[in-house]
Amino acid sequence: MLTAKQHELIRFIQQRLEETGVSPSFEEMKEALDLKSKSGVHRLISALEERGFIRRLPNRARALEVIRQPEDAVPASRGAAGLDAANDAVASVSRTLRDAPEPANDVIEIPLHGRIAAGAPIEALEGQNSLPVPAALLGPGEHYALEVSGDSMIEAGIFDGDFALVKRTDTARDGEIVVALVRGEEATLKYLHKDGGAVRLDPANAAYAPQVYRSEEVQVQGRLAGLLRRYH
């Protein structure tokens, strides 16, 4: 028989998996169970894992899988009607476990394509390294990352050495920050503005002037979806 807190935790994990496909963080579990520290969560997780109720998925950050529900989660009943109710409850739990989405990796790897200028355009889409990124920073669609070089987007909060997380697309709305490939050779990170047959790429730094091209000279290769910054 599990403790009340162990019951509460396994229900919370299962509920979060059903709703989002992602197991909750230790901080979320601590708050949900009203615990004083994450060490209490670690103890509960270890106890449930040792007893075969959950397991940690290898090579995935914080990913947990509920293997089985505790038997005493189904209220005891008497008589044929009670037995039917218990069987229905067990069947429902089995369906829930079977149909629940597989826990999603909380950190995913996306391609890292070299450096991109936030000043003068430079070549960008080079190299095929990868960058681990929290899944919460990315929405649906295909993404890649570029390391920012330069300071022309600092007023938009984008600094030299940041990693731009880019959703791959060839379309963008006026005023969005995009990766623009200029004349098929150089890529830059700028605000996109369309003006008739021209395209203006605006910096976010008063020290830099906008860049104006014919529309056929500029190809959108993605929209900015997020940023990662490393602190040394």
Concerning whether 190 is annotated as a catalytic residue, the answer is yes
Q: What's the first-to-final CA gap in the chain, in angstroms?
A: 48
Which of 30, 149, 167, 190 is catalytic? The answer is 190
Q: Judge contact between 200 and 211, C-beta under 8 A.
A: yes
Concerning whether 5 is annotated as a catalytic residue, the answer is no
Q: Judge contact between 116 and 187, C-beta under 8 A.
A: yes
Which of 23, 30, 149, 152 is catalytic? The answer is 152
Beta-carbon-side half-sphere exposure of residue 87 (alpha carbons within 13 Å):
7
Judged on CB neighbours under 10 Å (0-12, 13-18, 19+), 230 is exposed
Structure tokens at 38: 């994450």
Provide Rg for the chain, Cα atoms: 25
**Per-residue CA distances from 215 to 116, 180, 186 (Å):** 21, 11, 15
Q: What is the Cα–Cα distance from 133 to 109, expressed in whole angstroms?
A: 6
Q: Judge contact between 157 and 136, C-beta under 8 A.
A: no
**Which of these, 37, 39, 36, 47, lies nearest to 4 by C-alpha position?**
47
Q: Annotated catalytic sites, by residue?
A: 152, 190
